[in-house]
Amino acid sequence: MVELALRTHCPYCAYQCGIRMSDAAEAILGDPHFPVNNGQLCIKGWSAGALLRHPQRLTTPLVRDSRKDDFRPADWDEALDRIADAMRRTREQYGPDANAMFGSGALTNEKVYLLGKFARLALGTANIDYNGRYCMSSAAGGNNRAFGVDRGMPFPVNDIGEAELIVLIGSNCADTLPPIMQWFQKQKANGGRVIVIDPRRTSTARSADLHLQTTPGTDLALANGLLYLAIELDLLNREYITTRTNGFDAVRATVLNDHPARTERITGVGEPLLRQAIKWMSAAKSCMFLTGRGAEQHSKGVDTVNAWTNLALALGLPGKPQSGYGTLTGQGNGQGGREHGQKADQLPGYRLIENPDHREAMAKFWGVPAESLPRKGKSAYELIDALGESPGTAVPGLSPIRTLFVMGSNLVVASPDVNRTVARLKATDFLAVADSFLNETSQIADVVLPVYQWAEENGTMTNFEGRVIRRRQTALAPTGVRGDLDILRELADRLGCGDKFAFNSAREVFDEFRRATAGGTADYSGITYEKIEANEGVFWPCPAEDHPGTPRLFADRFFHPDGKAKFLPVEHRPAGDTPDAAFPYLFTTGRYKEHYNSGVQTRQVGELTKAKPGPLLQVHPTLARRHGIAGGNLVTLESRRGRAEFRVDVTPDIRPDTLFAPFHWGGREGANLLIGGFLDPVSRMPEFKLAAVRVVSVSKS
């Protein structure tokens, strides 16, 4: 019997399940004492030990002498010297903003903080952003506009079990966060109901009481249509609107045209279902709206989130027990990853880089003049688009970005318009990647650094509830591998900034950054490792060591200066890419429960690739008949940007006008080959969930 004495958290999604593992991770079980998953795990969590002892794991730095050469092993000093030399050379020739850093929602809070500090202090560049821009930025933007704060879920997950009605908008959480379903089961046992809004009949939709199978990209119109009916049927919470919010009259004027016939024309959802849904929402004693990436990854993602916050506020839900609006964060540290300074527009503690008071506070903390801090930089996709010399893509009058360091992101698979992304990455003078496996991005790099994995180092993560937890070191890393914190310190030292990066452990970095957040919106200053251990995590804000943390927000006030929430007038608008006679179908993307994001880790695990060896294109039988497509055929799709090939699954679970494929794979099966770089004007989120496509060819082999 293997002893499972070691406790840490899963390497993958924002649910951050507690796990127990044996020495060397030979066995992994769910941790029954962690109150979020209560011992449950999904298949990714069970099999995560295979990542640690994987034969393909990188254990030595790789360098190449020119882009024409293959990689050769190098020692750490050579690899780090090459990166530091490239950064120094770039800064001297083209200025500080020609260097860029690209981070990740998988990094610990300590790494996120240090990466942002490294970019601003050691490089002096404005250009740092991360792959969470592709994940949570629209929800973050909508939350900030409506409530004055961005904590994805303003309540703990167990509140789901007590809610009378849950409305899931664009989330297939039965597949993406399987242990969350224990709370839905409890909710159902208590007599609760679930409405799912999704273009696909997913596992989650199948278990719902009501499924509204919307046209992709129309969740905003649906929310406005429901608000129209709430006004018509006099279902508003007028006292709440008067005492706790601002701006309702402008929103009422905006939705006057969103009558059921118009809503049905746009969304595909008929009037009887609209009326049933709004009656359930207004009659429930407690009701939660939870959005996922299906609603958010659009060029109108922020407005879509605010259409739902408008409806929630009109019904008086936010701040009421077991009620309100929340978003189901995706990446492991998707929440903490957007709080501590790796976003182009942010400084630690969720401070804004263009706010003079916030700049002053961080400059004072770091002991530098406020005017020396860089300004706001380019968002993720704009940063990629500015790589290398490229007339027509780089911002006129500014040097393009020449050197890029990527920490924990597989940009080639995760970014939109993959052909363009690859061309831009190849156009850099110098590309460095830190990861534990070679992936589609590191394969075109100049230097690759092999780094510790999840169980091999200490740090903190902030899960989707805003609960700060400890990733504990429970395994020894292979010889030759180093940590991301170590790499940043070594590079800072080589760039003459070592005095600002003097720490001996992740705990020391944590203690620095929690002090840095004092007075910020995401205030961690009262959180200590000991407090996390004693309480199975601490919810921010936690402004003092004797403060218990804040599991539930908004009971008395919102975070805007007057304490009120804001209605935002928002209107439906077409997607950046719309179908026409040449590209007649809608294409949308999503996830399998066996794989995680760009697949760098999960495509290495035999158990997962055996269960899901590749992507399947969901095709409705009507569309399949039109093109002579049968299950198992190989279909080539084309959008205005590129082509991708998929094996087919013919299924009535998808709308007849829509095709679906997951995006976990690269090469010709890369779903993001078809996706365009249309960005939300507020969040700069690319429109991952929609492209207009056509069927180019069908083959049996």
Write down the residue that tokens 């399947």 correspond to. 616
Q: Minimum CB separation from ligand SF4 for residue 286, in Å?
A: 25
What is the helix (H) or strand (E) element at residue 435, kind and residue range?
A: strand 430-435
What is the token pair recorded at 161?
């079990």
Q: Minimum CB separation from ligand SF4 for residue 16, in Å?
A: 5
Range 447-486, binding ligand SF4 (CB under 6 A): none
**Other Cβ atoms closer than 10 A to 613:** 12
Q: Minimum CB separation from ligand SF4 for residue 177, in Å?
A: 5
Q: Minimum CB separation from ligand SF4 for residue 366, in Å?
A: 34
Alpha-carbon span 419 to 136, nearest angstrom = 24
Q: Minimum CB separation from ligand SF4 for residue 9, in Å?
A: 7
How far is residue 487 CA from its own chain's centroid?
A: 24
How far is residue 369 CA from its own chain's centroid?
A: 33
Look up residue 476 and give its DSSP letter: P
Q: Closer CB to ligand SF4, residue 12 or residue 665?
A: 12
Q: Closer CB to ligand SF4, residue 13 or residue 284?
A: 13
Range 382-421, binding ligand SF4 (CB under 6 A): none
Alpha-carbon span 686 to 684, nearest angstrom = 6
Q: Minimum CB separation from ligand SF4 for residue 40, in Å?
A: 8
Parallel, antiparallel, or unpaired: how do β-strands 193-197 and 165-169 relate?
parallel
The residue from 8, 15, 291, 608 that contacts ligand SF4 (CB under 6 A) is 15
The residue from 12, 366, 454, 688 that contacts ligand SF4 (CB under 6 A) is 12
Q: Minimum CB separation from ligand SF4 for residue 561, in Å?
A: 36
Alpha-carbon span 460 to 548, nearest angstrom = 18
What is the token pair recorded at 368?
């530098």
Q: Closer CB to ligand SF4, residue 13 or residue 140?
A: 13
Which residue is at the shortest CB distance from ligand SF4?
A: 45
* β partners of residue 400: none
Q: Closer CB to ligand SF4, residue 232 or residue 607?
A: 607
Q: Minimum CB separation from ligand SF4 for residue 86, in Å?
A: 35
Q: Closer CB to ligand SF4, residue 10 or residue 305?
A: 10
Alpha-carbon span 303 to 544, nearest angstrom = 35
593 phi and psi, to 5 degrees?
Answer: -70, -20
* β partners of residue 403: 99, 430
Q: Closer CB to ligand SF4, residue 116 or residue 326?
A: 326
Q: Closer CB to ligand SF4, residue 13 or residue 586?
A: 13
Q: Minimum CB separation from ligand SF4 for residue 342, in Å?
A: 21
Helix (H, G, I), strand (E, B) or coil at 281: helix
Q: Minimum CB separation from ligand SF4 for residue 646, in Å?
A: 24
Q: Minimum CB separation from ligand SF4 for residue 539, in Å?
A: 18
> Residue 600 corresponds to which amino acid?
V
Helix (H, G, I), strand (E, B) or coil at 619: strand
What is the helix (H) or strand (E) element at residue 616, kind and residue range?
A: strand 616-619
Look up residue 31 and give its DSSP letter: -
Residues 6 or more apart whose Cβ sits within 8 Å of residue 228: 255, 256, 258, 259, 260, 263
What is the token pair recorded at 542?
């936690």
Q: Closer CB to ligand SF4, residue 171 or residue 299?
A: 171
Stretch of 8-16, 451-459, 578-586, 614-622 contacting ligand SF4, by CB under 6 A: 8-16
Q: Minimum CB separation from ligand SF4 for residue 599, in Å?
A: 13
Stretch of 41-49, 412-420, 497-505, 565-573 contacting ligand SF4, by CB under 6 A: 41-49
**Under the criterion CB under 6 A, does residue 42 sit at the interface with ligand SF4?**
yes
Q: Minimum CB separation from ligand SF4 for residue 28, in Å?
A: 9
Q: Minimum CB separation from ligand SF4 for residue 416, in Å?
A: 24
Stretch of 34-42, 231-239, 318-326, 342-350 contacting ligand SF4, by CB under 6 A: 34-42
Parallel, antiparallel, or unpaired: how do β-strands 72-73 and 6-9 relate?
unpaired
Stretch of 38-46, 91-99, 150-158, 610-618 contacting ligand SF4, by CB under 6 A: 38-46
The number of C-alpha atoms within 13 Å of 300 and in the hemisphere containing its C-beta is: 21
**Under the criterion CB under 6 A, does residue 36 sit at the interface with ligand SF4?**
no
Stretch of 5-13, 566-574, 621-629, 647-655 contacting ligand SF4, by CB under 6 A: 5-13
Write down the residue that tokens 């004495």 correspond to. 5
Helix (H, G, I), strand (E, B) or coil at 307: helix
Any idea what the Cα angle at residue 189 is, between residues 185 and 192, rounded to 5°? 90
The residue from 6, 8, 10, 453 that contacts ligand SF4 (CB under 6 A) is 10
Q: Closer CB to ligand SF4, residue 15 or residue 405?
A: 15
In 3D space, the residue among 128, 150, 121, 120 whose CA is nearest the CA of residue 137 turns out to be 150
**Under the criterion CB under 6 A, does residue 25 sit at the interface with ligand SF4?**
no
Any idea what the Cα angle at residue 475 is, between residues 471 and 478, rounded to 5°? 120
Q: Closer CB to ligand SF4, residue 114 or residue 173?
A: 173
Write down the residue that tokens 């056509």 correspond to. 694
Range 208-237, binding ligand SF4 (CB under 6 A): none
Q: Closer CB to ligand SF4, residue 124 or residue 599?
A: 599
Look up residue 108 and give its DSSP letter: -
Write down the residue that tokens 């039988």 correspond to. 621
Helix (H, G, I), strand (E, B) or coil at 383: helix
Q: Closer CB to ligand SF4, residue 8 or residue 16?
A: 16
Q: Closer CB to ligand SF4, residue 51 or residue 312?
A: 51
Alpha-carbon span 340 to 609, nearest angstrom = 34
Range 166-185, binding ligand SF4 (CB under 6 A): 177-179
Burial (Cβ within 10 Å: 0-12, 13-18, ≥19) of residue 614: middle
What is the token pair recorded at 337?
């990853």
The residue from 25, 28, 31, 44 that contacts ligand SF4 (CB under 6 A) is 44
Q: Minimum CB separation from ligand SF4 for residue 406, in Å?
A: 23
In 3D space, the residue among 383, 384, 376, 302 whose CA is nearest the CA of residue 346 turns out to be 376
How far is residue 486 CA from its own chain's centroid?
A: 25
Q: Measure Cα distances from 389 to 82, 334, 379, 423 in Å.
A: 21, 32, 18, 11
Q: Closer CB to ligand SF4, residue 333 or residue 525?
A: 333
In 3D space, the residue among 259, 274, 290 whose CA is nearest the CA of residue 214 turns out to be 274
# chain residues binding ligand SF4, by CB under 6 A: 14
Parallel, antiparallel, or unpaired: how do β-strands 62-63 and 72-73 relate?
antiparallel
The residue from 21, 41, 305, 575 that contacts ligand SF4 (CB under 6 A) is 41
Stretch of 36-44, 347-355, 415-423, 673-681 contacting ligand SF4, by CB under 6 A: 36-44
Stretch of 6-14, 336-344, 466-474, 687-695 contacting ligand SF4, by CB under 6 A: 6-14
The residue from 13, 221, 619, 661 that contacts ligand SF4 (CB under 6 A) is 13
Q: Minimum CB separation from ligand SF4 for residue 463, in Å?
A: 8
**Under the criterion CB under 6 A, does residue 520 sit at the interface with ligand SF4?**
no
The residue from 45, 132, 341, 388 that contacts ligand SF4 (CB under 6 A) is 45
Q: Which residues bind to ligand SF4, rule: CB under 6 A?
A: 10, 12-13, 15-17, 37, 41-42, 44-45, 177-179
